Structures are given as structure tokens and as C-alpha cells.
Amino acid sequence: MSAKSVKEAQGKAILARWLKDSQGKPFIDNHRVSISAETPKDAPLKALLQSGSADSTWLGTTKLVCKPDQLIKRRGKAGFLLLDGDVDAGDKFLSEWRNKEVTVDGITGVLEDFIVEPFIKHAQSDEYYVCINSVREGDAVLFYHEGGVDVGDVDAKAKKIMIPADGSLNAERVLSDLLVPEVPEERRALLADFVASLYSVYVKLHFTYLEINPLVVVGEKIHVLDLAARLDETAHFECSSLWGPLDFPSPFGRPLLPEEKFVQELDSKTGASLKLTILNPKGRIWLMVAGGGASVVYTDTLSDLGVSTELANYGEYSGDPTENLTYQYAKTILSLVTRDEEPHPEGKVLIIGGGIANFTDVAETFKGIVKAIRQFAAELKRHKVSIWVRRGGPNYKQGLQNMQDTVSSLGIPISVHGPETHMTAIVSMALGLSKPKEKESEKSGSDSAASQPAPIGAASTNSGPTERNEWALFTRNTTAIVYGMQLGAVQSMLDFDHLCGRQTPSVRAVVYPFAGAHYRKFFWGAKETMIPVVPDIAQALNKFKNDTHLDTLVSFASCRSAYESTKQALAQPRIKTIAIIAEGVPERRTRELITAAKNRPAEQGGPVAIIGPATVGGIKPGCFRVGNTGGMLDNVLASKLYRPGSVAYVSRSGGLSNELNNIISRTTNGVHEGVAIGGDRYPGTTFMDHLLRYQADPGVKLMVLLGEVGGVEEYHVCKAIKDKVITKPLVAWCTGTCASMFPTEVQFGHAGACAHSNLETARAKNAALAEAGVHVPTSFNELGELISKVYTKMVAEGTIVPEQERAAPNIPMDYAWAKKLGLVRKPAAFISTISDDRGEELMYAGMPISRVFEEDIGIGGVLSLLWFRRRLPNYASKFIEMVLMMTADHGPAVAGAHNTIVTARAGCDLVPALVSGLLTIGPRFGGAVDGAAKMFSSAMDAGLTPELFVDSMRKKNELIAGIGHKVKSLHNPDKRVSILKEYALAHFPKTDTLHYALSVEALTTKKKGNLILNVDGCIGCCFVDLLRHCDAFSPEEADDFLKNGFLNGLFVLGRSIGFIGHYLDQKRLQEGLYRHPTEDIHYVDPSQEQGSAGISVADNW
């Protein structure tokens, strides 16, 4: 349900901001005050007036209207209205009604939000009625010359004009076609200008409904007295800045509970779908259902079984949520299940249900649920909760087994079922109304029942026409362009092609606007094939000019880009069919695309069939499938989708379309074609569009329609049957019969699943279908039985002649999927022990990145995790940071900085300049840290006294690493050494090596004052002491880190900071190419250079 109601104050604020007359002046004032729960309780209006705010001075200069602003109708008749009052009267009214519980139309709620605005004195003749309402064909604009609460049936009375989805409305047309003669002449131009401007704002800001009753005209001024409006929430990415601050309130009497708000917040942060509505917190039946369509069906079933009062919640999770999202969702529900202090006397039931997923990894999502069940195991047992599971789809067997094993081991009663069990059969089992049946052998792969003669027979192996016609969107020769880098979906389509025996892949090219032209490898059976990736649709079509069957676009464009990319496709005459997979495409954009596709001129290619948005697509067994329709290959095999049957279906729900594949394959000779038109309110093609194709298709003998609450499309089907336009047998069911059990509007899984009148309810539509002669079951649970009954009758009558089932071909399993299922193994290419980015959160040596910041471990702490794979004491992390600061830079003259500067001035980028500086680090530059650590620790470990160590180095004519400085001396100490030395002596548990080095310094400085322990030596010795005595390492580990060059790494890391600084400094100064001055070079002529024997170099040649 993307159309969301807004508060009256917010709707009026939007109109005040954007409604302008032909001269650009605002039509209405923005004088109104919103009172909410956060507003001070005592005399809020007086407080606002006394505040002196410019926005509230009008409160003291006019009479006021006060009324609740909580989506309540007929507030005046209910007495919740103050008219013609002053500030004191307004405060008194608010004091009386704020936080008061009231009942309106049978719904009880608390009045918290109010709107206060100027009272407009006027006559009854000054009131008018204006309404704009969006429908599939366009926007209906209604006008009536009377307004107010007693206006009556405006649908019957008002003058109405229809504006096409891609049309516009000007004042001239309002005058000629909308304003009735009863409107006084002096007001006609003003009202015409207003209505035209109102429609322009309606379109621009993606309203879906806007009613003003009454609209009042006093003199030359227009006033909007009462307003009801709905905005398309999916247009937020287009309109958020235009709407301004906005929230979509809950229906009156249904304030969001904390758990509902939490799930709503989770849902807003992911591309998956998470919904939760708490109906009865004390109920004993709880649902955790996968799939928007499936969630409605499970709720329907409980309603049909007469236990709706025991149902605790409605909700769904879908769209391949991650393990962590599923865990958070499941944890929220389980916290509610186990919240009561006293267990329910009959125990509780948790139904973890769902259809057969198309692409969601069932095992992965079940991991999150299992994790939550483990967490609540004790409470679940205390509340005597039994768990009932039914699911199918990718990796479902592993998921069900994991669920069974884990929950059983916890001592919680559980019963798990796969696709062999009807989707909603577990509901009656859970309630004790039926017993679980013995599980059938599950069909999959080469061992499937599909490879054996089917008792109910198969259809003809003829897959229909090879050329597209008015009833065949897809043939065995259809080829397509896939928009978006959906490599998995492309591979699924190619695997289906191979399974069906196609000679060539159905995917010709992939369009990806964010990269240049290139090729991608895919599997064609066991072999590999290359498919081009190009940046736009025109280029893809141009690449295959001679392919007359390339007429389909499968679009995985996001909701933000689906509109523009589809318009690009419509501009290509060769494109005849477009499948839009994305959810969340704004309704107006969809309606514009529908209009453009329907009205495309013949010379530009003629009309285009659009499947979607918000769909999984469609499938024609033996011919073609859209993306992931039909699910994984094991489900394609189990449902016999590799060859045509005699039954064609059309559904709104993508998830339930896969359930229909399963039902039809088990009760008939299989599916001939299936299309999920999409869950949005305005799907690109309708039930009738596809039923008429099936009616004309000689291969289709039986049709199935699965509708849902919302919309009136099913009534067109009824009329077509009565008019004999549709004559083939039709089995139909509309889900959402549970809607009447909800006292307020509930967010069902699909955007279009919402009834705006009794005519749009599922019960009304099922009754109408039955009355028209359609085969309608009593519930979804009986849908399969009814399909079987009609099919069997048609076989007996000879309408359907079953044939021998052919063996299903084999398709090699992808290595990645086989590995996931545990069927194959191979050694890893390399091993990493320091970080892991596979889960919900990046891990550093097992520490989540969130904890890194929560515990403020700093750069030193991060370095300890990534270099040492463990957390070092705080003093050690601090010392690491001190060393990095000390070694960050030592001026521009040193080798590394010099190289960096020269490279930067040569015009190179940052990385080459940095690397040129780093490459100078070695034994003579930076290596002294590593050398000093090894030299001092080795001497100390060997038991040499400082005197013997100095004496041995003198005898070997070797310099002592870490001793000596060009400038600093005993009397001019290096401040850096003093800081590090004092910190180590104060914080380290032991400083043996540092003391040893200081003893050596005492000896060397006797010879010469500048033979002091320098900063390199101090760092090296301190780190030896840190590694050996911080209790984080064994002696062997500490020595290994020293041998592996850890200290050089520290110098490299620290000095990189300075090198980058020098690079940026040179770029900032815009220094030119560096050339070394010739006077700083000593040039030697080889002919003048003499060797040691007095012979010139030249003489050697």
C-alpha cells in the first residue's frame, strides 16, 4: 500500500507552499498550528501567542477553528470541533479533548493531534466540492457547486473529467468541461485557475487522492477548510524535498507499538520487506510468514477456520533478507510471543510458513530464525509454544533440517514440511483440526518423479508457435536483453533454456550503464559462453540487428531508474515485451509507462506488453522464463516447467506464482504459461490481458486466476465470461478474505492489496466470480483440489488428452551452489586470519567494527588486532600511537621525503609519489629500528654485559644500531627519546632491554657525547620489552614478530603519513618539475679519471 494518508495540517502546508495562481501568488495562507503529544499541555495556544513568534501572531487577530488531525472523518458530527472561538476557547477545547479516549465508527482511540487555523466566516453558497482521484486510466477530477458535510453522494452528483496519466489540465478546460453553470460568473475564472493549479501540484507532488470539502470562496480569496489527502510513499526519492517534513500517521485507533516501530525502521533500511502488525497481543496464534502474498493467504486460512480472534499478528518477511535481518525480525516476534507473565492455558502456536521461494536462500534466512529460537528457548518452553514450519525454494531441505534438528534438541515441539505439503495445510495441523500426512518423496533433480511417466499425464511436447503473435508473448525462439548486472538471473535463464532443449541462449546482451562495453562468461549446459555487456539498450539491439526474435527486455533496474530505462526501451520499435522487476516504482510513473506502452504508434513498433512492476516475471515452459521465475532448477524439475502443460495461470503475487507451479504440477499435466502481473496497484498488464491471450492460445485448456483484495479487475473478468468473450474453464480465487477482520486499515504485503470500497474486497470479488460461472473454491486451502477436479473432468471429457511424460534433462550444478549444499569441496586459495567481511558486520580479528568504535580502541588498538590478531593492553596501544606520531616525518631532506617531493613535482599522482618514498626505506633509512631491536636483544639474551657488547662490536668494526646522532648529544638530548623513554619506564611491566641499551649509552657517550641512544634505538628496545612482557605473547611469538619485520612495518606506516603530507604540500604550492642544480653535482670526465695503477679508465677499452 504505497498510497499513504497524511495529516490535514501537513497536506495544507504542502498546498500553501506550492499552490500559486497564474500571477505566481499563493492561493492560500499558511496560517495553522499543529498540536501534538509533545506540545505543552497547559494553554498551548496562549503560550504560542505570548512567545511573539511571527508564525503565531495571527492567533490573536482572528477567530479560530480547532479539530482533531488524526484521519478521522465527520469530526463535526462527532462533536470534535470548535468553531469561531478565540485563544481562550481554543485552549479550553484542547484541554477538554486532548488525550481523551473516544470511539468513532466503532474504533476506539486517543485524541492526541489537533489542527488550529483561522475561522472563515461564509455562507452555504460559498462552499464547493473538489476531488482528484487517481485510477489506472488517469486522474479523475470532480467538481460540485455545493460542499460541506451534507453534500451527499458526490460520485453521482459531481461533474467529472478524466485526465490521461500523461495529460495536463488548464484553466480553459476547467471552465468549459468542469465548472457547472451554477457557479457565479464572477468566481468562474478564480475557481478555474485554482483547480488547474491544484491538479498541477497533484501531479508534481505525486498525490494519489486529494479531496477538499468544503472549498470556500469569500470575495476573491479561496480557503481550504477540510482536506483529506494521500501521497505515494514510493515517490519519496523524487519528492522528499518538495513535501518538506512529513510523517505518515497510523490509522486512528492503531498507534504503532514499539515492536512495530522497530520493524518499520528495519524495513526502511533494507531492500528486503519486513512488516509487522500486532492484532491481539494476548492471542495464542503467531505468524512468521515469508512472502507478501503468502502472508495474506495464511491469515485468510485462520479467518476461514474461525480463529481470527486468537490471531496475534499479521506480518511478512520477503525479498531475500539477510540472516541478521531475519534474526532481528524473529527476535521481535518471539519477544511478543513470550511476553505474558502467565502461560496461555492452551499453549501457543508459532507458524513459520511460506510459499516456494524463487531466489531467497531458505537455509540462510532460517539461520536467523533458529538463532532467535535458541535465544528464547527457555521462555518458549515455559509458554508451551509449538512450532509449525512449511517452506520451499532454494536450499529449503538444508533449512528445514537445520530447523528440525536445532528446535528438537532444545525440547520445543516442532513439525516441518516442504513443498510436498499444501502451503496452508500446517494451519489446521497446528490447531489440531487435521493430522500431518506421511511425507511424499520429494522430487528433485534426475531422481525426480518428473523422469517417470506421470499418472495424470503430460501435455504435448509441442511448445507452441515459433513466431510471436497476438497471444504468444514468448516462443522457443524469443531472445531478450537483461537490464542490470543481475548475473545470477541471467544464468538462471540460460539454465532454463538448456533444460528446455533450446538451441541458443535466450539472453542476447546485458545492459549496464555504469561500465563500458565488455563480455561476461556464463554456462551453457556444461560449456561456457560469452554474453556482451553494453551501456545502453540501443547499443544492445544494434549489436544483433538480424535477430528478429529479440523483442523482450527483462529489467532489473532499481525503482529510481526503472522509469527512465523503460522509456528508453519504449523508444525502440523492436521491443514488444518489458518485464519490470523492481518494487517501489512510483504509481504515477507506472501509469505514464502503461499509457505510453498502450498508445505507442504502429510506425514506432505498436503497443508493448509490460509485466510488473513489483513482479518476479513470468514463465512459458519449454520456451522462455523471465529472470528467476520458477525458482531454482530443482523446483523447475519438480514442477515440470521444462515442458508445456495444459494449464495457464495469472497471478498478482510472484511468490504465490511459484506455489501455483507446484499445485498445478501435482494436480494436472502441468503449466502451459504463467505470469505474475505484479503486486502494485497498477500493474502494466491486467488479468484480462493475459486471460484473453490464454483464451486464444490453442495449447491452453484450463485457466487459473489468483487475485487479491484491492482493485476491480476481477469484475472485468466476470463481464467477459458473461459476454462469452472467455469460454474456457477458469478456476479463480482472490486472497485477502481476512481483511474484514481488521478494524483498521492494515499494510498487506503488496502495495495494491488494499480495498478502498466494498466492491474491492476479496469476498465480494469471489462471490462475483462464482456468480459469473467461475470455479471458485471455499478457501485457498481447497484451490488445488478444485483444479484437480476440473482437470480430471476435462480429461474424462476428452478436452485434455494426456501424453507420455518425457524424461527431464540434466543440468550440471554450479560449483558455488554445490559447495553451499555441501556436495563438493576444494582447498581455499589462501587463508586470512585477521579480518572477515562475510557477515553483517566487518570483523577485525574477531572483533565487530561496531565494538572497535564503542570501546574507542583507537589506531593502536586496530593495529594490534590486524597485526598481532589480539587486543593489546591500553598502554601498549597508546605506545604504538606515540611511535606513529614520532616517526610520521623528519623533514624534507631525508631520502624518502626527498623522493616523494621529486615524484610529486614530476606531476605524478599520490600513489606513485608515496611508493617512491617508501622504496628508499632499507638498511640505511629506517632500518635502524629493526636492527637496534635485534642487536640489543641478542646481546642481552646472550648474557653479554654492556661492556663486553661494546667491546665485541669495536673488535668487529661494526657500528651499534640505534646509537649515535648527527646533531643531538648527551647535553642536547633528543626530546622524542625522552618522551618515549619516560612513558615506557612509567607504564611497561618490565624494561630490561631499554635499561640494557641505556647502560650501553652510558659507555658510548664517554667516548663521544653524540653517541647517544637515538629515537630508532629507543623505539626498537621499547618494543622488545613491550612484546616480551605485556602478557599477550609467548617468548617465541614475540621473537617471531621481531624477525618478521614488524618494526619496519611500523616505520613504513608512520612515515607514510609524512610522505603524503609532503605530496599534498607540493601540490598545494604548485611546484614545477624538479631539476637538480648542476653546481651541486661533481662531474668527472672518465678520460681524466686515474685508476690505482696510474692507468686511465679510457686505456682499459
Does residue 175 contact residue 192 with C-beta atoms inside 8 Å? yes
Does residue 156 contact residue 219 with C-beta atoms inside 8 Å? no
The residue written with cell numbers 591500553 in the block is: 874
Instruction: Report which secondary-structure segment, H or E, holds 202.
Output: helix 185-204
- pLDDT-derived band at 254 (thresholds 50, 70, 90) equals confident
- Give the residue numbers marked as catalytic: 750
pLDDT at residue 760 above 60?
yes
Cell of 773: 460461472
The residue-averaged pLDDT of 256-282 equals 89
Q: In this predicted structure, what is the pLDDT of residue 440?
A: 47
Q: In this predicted structure, what is the pLDDT of residue 743?
A: 58
Q: In this predicted structure, what is the pLDDT of residue 462?
A: 60
pLDDT at residue 807 above 60?
yes
- pLDDT-derived band at 106 (thresholds 50, 70, 90) equals confident
Rounded Cα gap, residues 847 and 862, in angstroms: 10
Partnered with residue 85 across adjacent β-strands are 64
For CA atoms 494, 495, 500, 503, give the dihedral sign: positive
Amino acid type, 642:
Y
pLDDT at residue 443 above 50?
no
Q: In this predicted structure, what is the pLDDT of residue 1090?
A: 56
Task: Name the phi and psi angles at 26, rounded to 5.
Answer: -60, 140
- pLDDT-derived band at 210 (thresholds 50, 70, 90) equals very high
Task: Name the phi and psi angles at 735, rounded to 5.
Answer: -80, 160
Rounded Cα gap, residues 1049 and 1064, in angstroms: 23
Q: In this predicted structure, what is the pLDDT of residue 457?
A: 55
Q: In this predicted structure, what is the pLDDT of residue 19?
A: 94
Task: Name the phi and psi angles at 814, rounded to 5.
Answer: -60, 140
Q: What share of the chain is helix, strand, coil (3-state, %, to 5)?
A: 40, 20, 40
- pLDDT-derived band at 744 (thresholds 50, 70, 90) equals low
Amino acid type, 619:
I
Instruction: Report which secondary-structure segment, H or E, holds 397.
Output: helix 396-409
Strands 348-352 and 609-611: unpaired
pLDDT at residue 441 above 50?
no
410 versus 446: which is more confidently predicted? 410
Cell of 901: 617531493
For the segment 241-250, what is each residue's pLDDT rounded down to a tens digit? Answer: 999 988 888 8
Q: In this predicted structure, what is the pLDDT of residue 177?
A: 94
The residue-averaged pLDDT of 354-374 equals 91
Does residue 466 contact residue 548 with C-beta atoms inside 8 Å? no
Residues constituting the chain: 1101
For the segment 928-981, what is each residue's pLDDT rounded down to a tens digit? Answer: 888 899 999 999 999 999 999 999 999 999 889 899 988 899 889 999 999 999
For the segment 820-862, what is each residue's pLDDT rounded down to a tens digit? Answer: 777 788 888 889 999 999 877 899 999 999 999 999 999 999 9
For the segment 648-705, what is each residue's pLDDT rounded down to a tens digit? Answer: 999 998 889 999 999 999 999 999 999 999 989 999 999 999 999 999 999 999 999 9
- pLDDT-derived band at 65 (thresholds 50, 70, 90) equals very high
* Burial environment of residue 439 by CB neighbours within 10 A (0 to 12, 13 to 18, 19 or more): exposed
| Full-model pTM | 0.82
Strands 835-836 and 577-580: unpaired
Q: In this predicted structure, what is the pLDDT of residue 456?
A: 54
Rounded Cα gap, residues 110 and 600, in angstroms: 52
DSSP 8-state class, residue 175:
I
- pLDDT-derived band at 128 (thresholds 50, 70, 90) equals very high
The C-alpha angle 255, 261, 266, rounded to 5 degrees, equals 155
Long-range contacts of 1062-1066 (CB under 8 A, 24+ apart): 1062/889, 1062/892, 1062/897, 1062/900, 1062/901, 1062/904, 1062/917, 1063/900, 1063/901, 1063/903, 1063/904, 1063/910, 1063/913, 1063/914, 1066/901, 1066/904, 1066/905
Rounded Cα gap, residues 418 and 908, in angstroms: 62
Amino acid type, 129:
Y
Strands 385-390 and 348-352: parallel
Helix axes 1046-1069, 858-868, angle to 10 degrees: 130
Q: In this predicted structure, what is the pLDDT of residue 546?
A: 94
DSSP 8-state class, residue 807:
P
Specify the range with the lowest mean pLDDT, choosing from 116-130, 176-190, 808-822, 861-875: 808-822
The residue-averaged pLDDT of 260-271 equals 88
Task: Name the phi and psi angles at 1010, rounded to 5.
Answer: -95, 5
Mean pLDDT of the chain: 90
- Beta strand segments in 424-490, E: 479-483
Q: In this predicted structure, what is the pLDDT of residue 333?
A: 97
- pLDDT-derived band at 451 (thresholds 50, 70, 90) equals very low
Q: In this predicted structure, what is the pLDDT of residue 178?
A: 94
Task: Name the phi and psi angles at 794, rounded to 5.
Answer: -70, -35
Q: In this predicted structure, what is the pLDDT of residue 450?
A: 35
The residue-averaged pLDDT of 505-529 equals 94
